[in-house]
């Protein structure tokens, strides 16, 4: 189940792009169904069927014009799990050094999301 949604960044390339962070309750949760709505010039993203506070952002004129023209946007999501992806209290030296270093896995997701006006 989704614990919270936060919009971190908005930008425009060919279409409106919204970067967000979604915090889940448990690592096996797969119940994320984003929905988007614009009221005035405020874009709101919420999870269908979950009574959490929606994430919202005020769009500037150009972003609003692009969203109104396309009626959709690209949603980029970075997932985190409560208790697993937090602030470490005891940090170890970074083991990812050198030319053959491996990156730690991050769960990311990208989709096109229609907007309700």
Q: What is the pTM of this model?
A: 0.78
> Which residue matches tokens 């999870």?
47
pLDDT of residue 29: 79
CA distances from 61 to 6, 34, 65, 106, 116 (A): 22, 24, 6, 33, 18
pLDDT of residue 101: 61
- pLDDT tens track of the chain, all 117 residues? 888 999 999 999 999 999 999 988 887 778 889 999 999 999 999 999 888 899 999 999 999 999 999 999 999 999 888 766 555 566 556 666 666 666 556 688 899 999 998
pLDDT of residue 34: 93
pLDDT of residue 32: 87
Sketch the domain layout of the chain as residue ranges: 2-86+104-116
Q: What is the DSSP string of 22-81?
A: EEESSTT-----EEEEEETTEEEEEETT--SPPEEEE--HHHHHHHHHHSEEEEEEEEEE
pLDDT of residue 27: 77
CA-closest candidate to residue 58, choices 40, 76, 74, 78: 40
């Amino acid at each position: 189940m989704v614990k919270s949604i936060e919009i971190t960044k908005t930008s425009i390339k060919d279409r409106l792009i919204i970067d967000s962070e979604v915090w889940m309750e448990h690592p096996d949760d797969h119940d994320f169904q984003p929905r988007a709505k614009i009221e005035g010039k405020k874009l709101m993203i919420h999870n269908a069927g979950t009574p959490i506070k929606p994430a919202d952002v005020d769009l500037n004129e150009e972003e609003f014009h692009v969203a109104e023209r396309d009626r959709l946007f690209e949603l980029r999501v970075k997932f985190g799990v409560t208790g697993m992806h937090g602030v470490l209290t005891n940090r170890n030296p970074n083991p990812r050094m050198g030319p053959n270093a491996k990156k730690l896995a991050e769960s990311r997701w990208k989709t096109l999301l229609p907007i309700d006006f």
